[in-house]
């Protein structure tokens, strides 16, 4: 089973809100998922995402492939985690 980490669209018309979901690649974008590990709100200013980095690392470790947007969110969360650890 090929697993991907991708965005699942929610919200209303012209007001999108996304959940970061781990799902089988064959399932539809807003369909069945295995686990929800975060959120992303593109309309919000500043820090517009949350992510459970431990669960993301687990799924990446077992072979899940992130989408481009999710990959950039993971990078941002790791940078933020390093900054807070250094402080």
Residue 85's pLDDT is 85
Contact between residue 7 and residue 69 where contact means Cβ atoms under 8 Å apart: yes
* pLDDT score of 1 more than 80: no
Residue 86's pLDDT is 84
Residue 87's pLDDT is 72
Residue holding tokens 């470790």?
61
Beta carbons within 10 angstroms of residue 11's beta carbon: 13
Q: Tens of pLDDT along 21-71?
A: 999 999 998 899 999 999 999 999 988 999 999 999 999 999 999 999 999
Q: Tens of pLDDT along 35-49?
A: 999 999 999 998 899
Residue holding tokens 């980095």?
53
Contact between residue 6 and residue 28 where contact means Cβ atoms under 8 Å apart: no
Based on its alpha-carbon atoms, the radius of gyration of the chain, rounded to whole angstroms, reads 13
Domain that holds residue 18: 3-86
Q: What residue spans of the chain are helical by DSSP H?
A: 53-61, 68-86
Q: Structurally, how many domains does the chain consist of?
A: 1
Beta carbons within 10 angstroms of residue 75's beta carbon: 10
Residue 76's pLDDT is 94
CATH number at residue 77: 3.30.1320.10
């Amino acid at each position: 089973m090929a697993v991907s980490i991708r965005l699942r669209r929610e919200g209303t018309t012209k007001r999108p809100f996304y959940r970061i979901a781990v799902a089988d690649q064959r399932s539809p974008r807003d369909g069945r998922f295995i686990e929800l590990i975060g959120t992303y709100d593109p309309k919000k200013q500043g820090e517009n995402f949350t992510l459970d980095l431990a669960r993301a690392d687990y799924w990446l470790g077992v072979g899940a492939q992130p989408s481009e947007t999710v990959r950039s969110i993971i990078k941002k969360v790791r940078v933020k985690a390093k900054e807070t650890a250094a402080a």
